[in-house]
């Protein structure tokens, strides 16, 4: 049976700069692209956010940050119309600002 060590056997032949570039390339492969929302989706986000603010319900917000999607759970405190961003109080009580253009989905939590 052949015991292949994969990339380990080639590491001694590579320059450190090449190893660094390969690691960066592998990380970039996991990056995602931000999708633009259409008007219907934006209207649904607006309705959900308005209802959550009015009733003070907790929401789960999926947003795009640093080439990846992240999720935040909390209550929407305020929407700044000039900056086009939501002010959200997360579960630990910290205030966060999330730009409207980065939001992918808002769901109310029962």
Q: Give the CATH number for residue 96.
A: 2.30.30.520
Rounded to whole angstroms, the Cα distance separating 96 from 54 reads: 19
In a domain, 3, yes or no: no
In a domain, 50, yes or no: yes
Structure tokens at 42: 């934006």
Q: How many independent structural domains does the chain possess? A: 1
Per residue in 43-100, pLDDT (tens digit) is 999 999 999 999 999 999 999 998 888 999 999 999 999 999 999 999 999 999 999 9
For the whole model, what pTM was predicted? 0.71
Backbone angles phi, psi at 81, to 5 degrees: -70, -30
In a domain, 87, yes or no: yes
β-sheet bridge partners, residue 65: 68
């Amino acid at each position: 049976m052949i015991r292949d060590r994969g990339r380990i056997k080639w590491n001694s032949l590579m320059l450190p700069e090449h190893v660094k570039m390969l690691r960066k390339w592998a990380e970039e492969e996991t990056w995602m692209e931000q999708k633009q929302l259409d008007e219907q989706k934006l209207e649904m986000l607006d309705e959900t956010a308005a209802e959550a603010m009015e009733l003070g319900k907790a929401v789960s917000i999926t947003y795009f940050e640093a080439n990846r999607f992240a999720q935040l759970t909390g209550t929407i405190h305020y929407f700044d119309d000039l900056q086009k961003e939501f002010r959200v109080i997360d579960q630990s009580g910290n205030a966060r600002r999330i730009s409207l253009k980065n939001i992918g989905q808002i769901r109310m939590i029962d």
